[in-house]
Amino acid sequence: MENIHQRYAALLVHYCLELKKGERLFIRTTTLAEDLLREVYRAATKVGAHIETELSFREQNRIFLELANEDQLQYISPQYKQAMEAFDAYLFIRAPFNLREGQAIDPKARKTRQAAFADLTKTYFRRTADRSLKRNLCQFPTQASAQEAGMSLEEYQHFIFEACRLYDDDPVASWLEVRKNQQHIVDHLNSCTHIRYKSAAFNITFSTKGRQWINSDGQTNMPSGEVYTSPVEDSVNGLVHFDYPAIYQGEEVQGVSLWVKDGYIEKWEAKQGQKVLDRVFEIPGTRRFGEAAVGTNYKIQRFSKNILFDEKIGGSIHMAIGQSYLQAGGKNESTVHWDMIADMKNGGEIYADDEKVYENGRFLL
């Protein structure tokens, strides 16, 4: 009988990555995800792909950032560089040991490391935008992530597998149905140019003229369930408040409010984590928005402190500061892309060209 990891692997290889014979696949994960990695490797080998893997061990990143000198911080693995520049597919399986292990790291080391990857980050966004690099980000359930989400490991496994539709009779068919339903929404939004997100706590507007709304149907993220775009950079105006916690490199920020004029974030406040916000807004490109989106995965209804799931919560919107999506027509560049989420289920509204298209967590289209 097919086990859940075989089912997960089949979805990743055949639907998410649409892997073909002769294509080169690069997989990054940790040693904790061996069970899923083995099945992905098996399925990809059956397809006829060429597979390279990179497995991280416990506290590897913390050790490196604490001890590395300037030259080491600027070094980039030739294997990773080649994968981002020339491979056909990239799978990142998140499987963390400890989500807090890097909190005491000197921010200067992180900044140096981010700067070293700046050019490769641009390459990554360009190639994933034109699909010359097919990529997928997914999650393997570990004790650290379960604890972060406030669940037992068994509960968290169920949470992940349910969100990915792995319990459905035919997960691929289920995701094709998601694609079909969301395409109707995307087609309507792409016929409009002016968007307003409104709730009791905020009112923010932006233009999408010349931009594209994207149907996120599980091919780039698993799970998915969202529609998103990159707003015209200088068009965002108003106040936006995010009532869900925002997590940046393991640090939690709560109650974020941003005041925006002509696309530029002029003022910011947080009920908790103000220093994190202050530090991030010093990074080039972070005071403009790279994304505006609506979460549509109603199989996800609880906050897990994992953005892969949380930004997809059915009945929420999110906006990201920093890097835009080239495939949506975005032009803002940054080493940061930080999503922040707001609940829309209690009075939230979305207007497109002054027409109400969304109310209380659901599209009206």
Instruction: Compute mean pLDDT per 10 residues along the chain, 365 residues long, and list them.
Output: 87 97 98 97 98 96 94 95 97 95 84 91 90 96 96 96 96 96 96 97 97 96 96 97 91 95 97 95 96 97 94 97 93 93 96 97 95
Distance, CA of 94 to CA of 29 (rounded, Å): 6
How would you classify the pairing of strands 134-139 and 89-94? parallel
Q: What is the DSSP letter of 238?
A: E
* Contact of 202 with 143, CB cutoff 8 Å: no
Q: Which of 115, 107, 88, 111 is nearest to 27 (CA)?
A: 88
pLDDT of 209: 97
* Contact of 334 with 230, CB cutoff 8 Å: no
pTM: 0.88
The dihedrals phi and psi of 364, each to the nearest 5 degrees, come to: -95, 0
pLDDT of 120: 92
- Residue 231 preceded by cis peptide, ω within 30: no
Token match 């034109």: residue? 130
Tell me the domains of the chain and their CATH numbers.
4-140 (3.40.1830.10), 172-363 (no CATH)
Residue 341, beta-bridge partner list = 318
Q: What is the DSSP letter of 313?
A: B
pLDDT of 1: 43
